[in-house]
Amino acid sequence: MVNKVVQKKPKKKIGILGGTFNPIHNGHLFIAEQVRTQLNLDKVFFMPDYKPPHIDSKNAIDSTYRVQMVNLAIKDNPYFATSMDEINRKGKSYTYDTMVTLNKNNPNVEYYFIIGGDMVNYLPKWYKINELNNIVNFVGVQRDGYSTESPYRVINIDIPKLDISSTLIRNHIKKGNSVRYLIPNAVLDYIKEHHIYE
């Protein structure tokens, strides 16, 4: 009898950039692309949360706008896609719940959850963080004003810091300042057309 050598297919490597994306900006796109290329990821999913688990979301704009802005921002990059998992699930978007479901439904995928330095610092307060740390690879990227040191398992990626935040974009727009080159043109056109943040 001949023993068949069963070759295991290597797992796909998928990145996830979870966020409120209120609005998406070039900092998000830059970190996703850097992590994708440095870690050789097959794809990066931008995953808008329905309700951020840690902040009062009263000021967040409707998810339809946030999702549409993400779609417009990533449309030119074939490695980027939008994940509607948390939007469709509704309720508070705990990452633990998301990752349990994704791992169960996609056993041949290894997930890399990308977070900025502010979120690396906040990890101790995440829901079921010890369990979550065992079922996903966190990838930490530097952000101005935060260290990326953590008691948790985090892969640190060294990339140039871009001091852009959604808060900065919203404030600039409110004041009538230009945000050109901080967000994609298509997103800027959409914001203007729908009078968001004015």
Ligand X SMILES: Nc1ncnc2c1ncn2[C@@H]1O[C@H](COP(=O)(O)OP(=O)(O)OP(=O)(O)O)[C@@H](O)[C@H]1O
Ligand Y SMILES: O=C(O)c1ccc[n+]([C@@H]2O[C@H](COP(=O)([O-])O)[C@@H](O)[C@H]2O)c1
Interaction site with ligand X (CB under 6 A): 19-22, 27-28, 31, 115-116, 118-119, 141, 143, 162, 164-167
CA-CA distance, 102 to 110, in Å (whole number)? 10
Site string for ligand Y, 60-99 (x = CB under 6 A): ---------------------------------xxxx---
Q: Using the rule CB under 6 A, is 46 a contact of ligand Y?
A: no
> Three-class SS of residue 91?
coil
The answer to whether residue 127 forms part of the interface with ligand Y (CB under 6 A) is: yes
What residue spans of the chain are helical by DSSP H? 26-38, 63-74, 85-89, 95-105, 117-122, 129-135, 166-175, 185-193
In whole angstroms, the minimum distance from the beta carbon of 30 to ligand X comes to 7
Residue of 71, 19, 84 lying closest to 27 (CA atoms): 19
Residue 152 makes contact with ligand Y by CB under 6 A: no
Instruction: Pick from 119, 139, 141, 191 the residue near ligand Y by CB under 6 A.
Output: 119
Of residues 11 and 149, the one with the C-beta less far from ligand X? 149
Residue 143 dihedral angles phi and psi, to the nearest 5°: -140, 140
Q: In this structure, what token pair is assigned to residue 184? A: 């994609």
Q: CB of 179 within 8 A of CB of 172?
A: yes
* Residue 22 contact among ligand X, ligand Y, none, beta carbon within 5 to 8 Å by kind: ligand X
Whether the CB-CB separation of 146 and 120 falls below 8 Å is answered with yes
Please count the CA atoms within 13 angstroms of the CA of 44 that sit on its side-chain side: 28
CB of 6 to ligand X, least distance (A): 39
How near is the Cβ of 180 to ligand X at its closest, in Å? 17
Q: Tell me: does residue 49 bind ligand Y (CB under 6 A).
A: yes
CA distance 167 to 183: 12
- Which of the choices ligand Y, ligand X, none does residue 165 contact, using the CB cut-off of 5 to 8 A by kind? ligand X
Question: Nearer Cβ to ligand X, position 102 or 182?
Answer: 182
Query: From the list ligand X, ligand Y, none, which binds 140 (C-beta under 5 to 8 Å, kind-based)?
Result: none
